[in-house]
């Protein structure tokens, strides 16, 4: 679906585009023990170590990404569930 709000102001559109770019930029492909695509909160923040999945953030990321990248949104949830005990 992407950006489909005709009532959005130019500023709102810029923020939405930046959010989409950030989420897509933080997307990580499966690798090693992680068998699903995932999104990390930050690729530069030292406290996130660049490639970690955080359950608290995952749900919010998936909700947002469901509007423009639904397959990755689902994979992001699967990545967290695959590590549940």
- At 75, the pLDDT band (50, 70, 90 cuts) reads very high
| 81 compared with 44, residue with greater pLDDT | 81
The whole-number average pLDDT for the span 3-18 is 90
> DSSP for 29-58?
--BTTB-S-EE-S-SS-GGGTTT---HHHH
pTM of the model: 0.82
Q: Which residue has the tokens 């930046």?
A: 18
Q: Which residue has the tokens 């770019």?
A: 21
- Residue 74: its pLDDT value, please? 97
Window from 50-59, 62-71, 72-81 with minimum mean pLDDT = 50-59
Residue 1 in this model has a pLDDT that exceeds 60: no
């Amino acid at each position: 679906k992407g950006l489909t709000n005709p009532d959005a102001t130019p500023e709102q559109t810029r923020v939405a585009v930046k959010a989409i770019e950030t989420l897509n930029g933080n997307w990580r492909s499966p690798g090693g023990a992680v068998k699903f695509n995932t999104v990390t909160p930050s690729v530069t923040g030292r406290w996130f170590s660049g490639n970690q999945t955080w359950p608290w953030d995952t749900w919010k990321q998936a909700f947002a990404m469901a509007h423009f990248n639904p397959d990755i949104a689902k994979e992001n949830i699967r990545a967290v569930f695959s590590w549940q005990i």
